[in-house]
Structure 1
Amino acid sequence: MKPIDEYFLNQKEPYQSIMLYVRSVILNTLPDVVERYCYKIPFYNIGKKPVLYLNILKGKDYVDIAFVHGILLEKDFPILKNDNNRKQVRSIQLRSLEDLDQENFEELLIASVESVRNSKRPWFI
């Protein structure tokens, strides 16, 4: 079994269900995305550039869907939050599957890929 699959299967509920569902939406919406296990969490890249990653932050009760170029997307997608005072990463916090607006999330995924593709550097700040 791949380390990334083990990561998902080792999560406690409800995090496991949330992450597996989000993973399927990402992979279905972005056919060119490459799923990698890096820094002990799942990353989704276009080429070698990271687009987003999934994480469960210590002491938090949600799945953090973090967008690398989130600062550039937060005007168009107000669902993105600046959790933990990160410089450029913005994220969606999901406590349950009902918290996910799938249509808006798919639009956000597509916009985030375009932002990364148009960028010369993966991390710009």
Structure 2
Amino acid sequence: MKPVDEYFINQKEPYQSIMLYVRGLILNTLPEAEEKFSYKIPFYNCHNKPMVYLNILKGKDYVDVCFVQGILLEKKFPILRNDNKRKQVRSIQLKNLEDLDHENFIALLHEASHVLSHSKKAWFI
């Protein structure tokens, strides 16, 4: 079993269902996305650079869907938040699947991939 699969299996509900659903959306929307297991969490790379990762922050009650270049996307997608005082990462906090606007998330994935394809590097700050 791959480490990323083991990570998902070991999550408690509702986090497991949320993460598996988001994983499916990412991989179905962006066939070029490559799933990696880095820093003990799932990352999704596009154009050989990290684009989005899934995390459950200690002491929080949501799945944090984090966009590496979120600072470049937050004006067009105000759902992205900077709750943890991050320099460039912005995220969507999901407590349940109903919190996810499916159509907007698909558009966000496409835009994030497009922005990343024109970037020299993922981490620029």
Alpha-carbon RMSD across the aligned residues, in angstroms, is 0.6
**1-structure distance, mates of 2:105, 2:7:** 23
Q: Runs of 4+ in structure 1 displaced over 4 angstroms?
A: none
Contact 1:34-1:47 at 8 Å conserved across structures? no
Q: Deviations over 1:90-120 (max 9, x none)?
A: 0000000000000000000000011111001
Partner residue, 1:110: 110
CA distance in 1, matches of 2:6, 2:53: 16
How does the TM-score come out when normalised to structure 1? 0.98
CA distance in 1, matches of 2:60, 2:21: 19
In the alignment, what sits opposite 2:89? 89
Alignment of 1:1-125 (within 5 A): 1-125=1-125
Amino acid at match of 1:69: Q
Q: Distance in 1 between matches of 2:75 and 2:35?
A: 27
**3-state secondary structure, aligned to 2:42:** strand
Q: CA deviation at 1:122?
A: 1.2
What is the rounded CA distance, in whole Å, between the counterparts of 2:47 and 2:71 in structure 1? 21
Query: C-alpha separation between the residues in 2 aligned to 1:78 and 1:7?
Result: 29
Question: How far off its partner does 1:83 sit?
Answer: 1.8
**Whole-Å Cα distance in 1 between the matches of residues 101 and 121 of structure 2?**
29
Q: Secondary structure at the match of 1:66?
A: strand
> Once the 2 structures are TM-superposed, how far is the Cα of residue 121 of structure 1 from its aligned partner?
1.2
Give the gaps of 5 or more residues in structure 2.
none
SS at match of 2:37: strand
Q: How big is each residue's C-alpha offset from its partner over 1:61-113, in whole Å with a ceiling of 9 and x where there is no partner?
A: 00000000000000000000002100000000000000000000000000001
